Amino acid sequence: MRGSRMTPGDRRTRSTMSIIIVMGLCCFFYILGAWQKSGTGRGDSIALRVTKETDCTILPNLHFETHHSLGGVNPLVMTNKVFEPCHIRYSDYTPCQDQNRAMTFPRENMNYRERHCPAENEKLHCLIPAPKGYVTPFPWPKSRDYVPYANAPYKNLTVEKAVQNWIQFKGDVFRFPGGGTMFPNGANAYIDELASVIPFTDGTIRTALDTGCGVASWGAYLMDRNVLTMSFAPRDSHEAQVQFALERGVPAVIGVLGTIKLPYPSGSFDMAHCSRCLIPWNSNDGMYMFEVDRVLRPGGYWILSGPPINWKTSHQKWKRSKEDLEAEQNTIEKIAEMLCWDKIHEKGDTAIWQKKTDSNGCPSKDDRTSKMCKIQDADDVWYVLYVYSTNICVLSTSNMSKKLN
């Protein structure tokens, strides 16, 4: 059969219906929208209620400035106060480390090498100027080996430490070949020797403390072993050696083991190091070794390189008597035993001790080590003076104190 064909009239009818349907839908959605906008619709009433509940006009004084202040003054708000630069003669000035002031303090226990801040009427209210010609330091790792002379224009060490390979003056830069008093073959070779005993590669050694660091070459080369070292040394009368360390990009501070505890919490370091740092470890009944014990974590290592280790062979070059050096080492060995440190290595001028992982379980070697007294807060270390005699307690890492006598 043949299908019926649509006539022109039918097509017009269908087109008209389509137009009517579209217009109807448009009208429907227009009316729906108007209804919702009027507030009668449920969805809009919900939205209106939420809007009212979160209306920001409820807090007309809302602002985002800090409410914390010191003495009524907002410390984060910049003021127009300007500090002028100090005279160029102060380019080597270090606050609280003035040499003239330092010499007025006692030399006992290196008190005069500690921080002594000026009185209020003597304080400088200006910005310390950079040395004339100061330039941007070299990027690491070049900065480890080279520092522009203009940044630390002090040549004393190039003369005093010339044979020890600490620092050399070449043209307009200082060169640091990595040498040290106790590692003439360089810091890397010295660290390789330590690595034969101390596990640098397994991640257990991450932090170190270098006492009497000099220009901090030991810490500089430990960075290649993924060990971060905090180095400190006192400011000498002619220059601050740690300034060279800072210019090299090595963490360092001016400091000394004297009458004040180190500003670090207990158990802060995996390793502590002294390379002929001139600290009298045997003095004051081992006060300084007790402080190292406090900041050294259980299982950590203490390295002593230099006098009195190897005194039988080296007493002549150290210009000290055998009897004196032997007595000093015997005292150090005795204190280390009381602190529960095991001596695990001695070769040449270097000895290494390891702190026991459980100091509280250390057996007493005699009646003196069994006498302990409690400490109020072993980590309260900022500017805490030692009060020490043979009849009172000394701080140790185990949060206890031990008498030596």
Identify the pLDDT of residue 72: 57
Residues 188 and 125 grouped into a single domain: no
What are the beta bridge partners of residue 301? Answer: 271, 354
Task: Specify whether 194 is located in the same domain as 287.
Answer: yes
Whether 398 and 279 map to the same domain: the answer is yes
Q: Is residue 154 part of a domain?
A: no
Which of 141, 134, 401, 138 is closest to 291 using CA atoms?
A: 401
- Same domain membership, residue 237 and residue 381: yes
Residues 145-192: pLDDT tens digits? 999 999 999 888 888 777 788 899 988 999 999 988 889 889 999 999
pLDDT of residue 158: 82
Kindly report whether the global pTM for this prediction surpasses the value 0.75.
Answer: no
Q: Does 74 reside within a domain?
A: no
- 109 phi/psi in degrees, rounded to 5: 55, 30
Residues 125 and 199 in one domain: no
- The residue ranking higher by pLDDT, 17 or 222, is 222
Report the pLDDT value the prediction gives residue 17, as an integer from 0 to 100: 78
What does the pLDDT look like over 227-270, one tens digit per residue?
999 999 998 766 778 999 999 999 999 999 998 889 999 999 99
For residues 110 and 228, state if they share a domain. no
Is the pLDDT score of 39 beyond 90?
A: no
Same domain, 243 and 359: yes
Instruction: Kindly indicate the confidence band of residue 19, based on its pLDDT and cuts at 50, 70 and 90.
Output: confident
Does a structural domain hold residue 325?
Answer: yes
Burial (Cβ within 10 Å: 0-12, 13-18, ≥19) of residue 54: exposed
Query: Within this chain, do residues 228 and 373 fall inside the same structural domain, yes or no?
Result: yes
Residue 320 has pLDDT above 80, yes or no: yes
Q: 363 or 302: which carries more pLDDT confidence?
A: 302
H helices within 205-351, ranges in order?
A: 217-222, 241-248, 287-295, 311-314, 322-338
Distances, alpha carbon 6 to alpha carbons 186, 340, 400, in Å: 104, 109, 108
Instruction: Decide if 198 contacts 301 (C-beta within 8 A).
Output: yes
- In the chain, the number of structural domains is 2
pLDDT of residue 337: 93
Whether residue 384 lies inside any domain: the answer is yes
Out of 129, 160, 192, a domain closes at 129
Residue 102 and residue 218 share a domain = no
The helix (H) or strand (E) run that includes residue 146 is strand 146-148
185 and 124 belong to one structural domain: no
d(CA 403, CA 370): 8
Q: Is residue 10 part of a domain?
A: no
**Boundary residue ending a domain (129, 161, 190):** 129
Least confident of 136-140, 167-171, 303-307: 167-171
- pLDDT of 156: 84
- pLDDT tens digit string along 94-116? 889 888 899 999 999 899 999 99
Q: What is the pLDDT of residue 267?
A: 94
Which residue range forms the structural domain that includes residue 254? 181-402
Residues 190 and 269 in one domain: yes
Tell me if 272 is assigned to some domain: yes
Structure confidence at residue 181 (pLDDT): 84
Q: Are residue 113 and residue 238 in the same domain, yes or no?
A: no
Does residue 117 form part of some domain? yes
Give me the percent of the chain exceeding a pLDDT of 90: 52
Buried b (16+ CB within 10 A) or exposed e, 62-78: eeeeeeeeeeeeeeeee
| 401: number of Cβ within 10 Å | 17
Give a yes or no: residue 118 inside a domain.
yes
**Cα pseudo-dihedral 267, 268, 270, 273, rounded to 10:** -110
pLDDT at 363: 59
| Minimum mean pLDDT range among 61-70, 132-141, 290-299, 321-330 | 61-70
Domain of 237, CATH number, reads 3.40.50.150
- Residue 57: helix, strand or coil by DSSP? helix
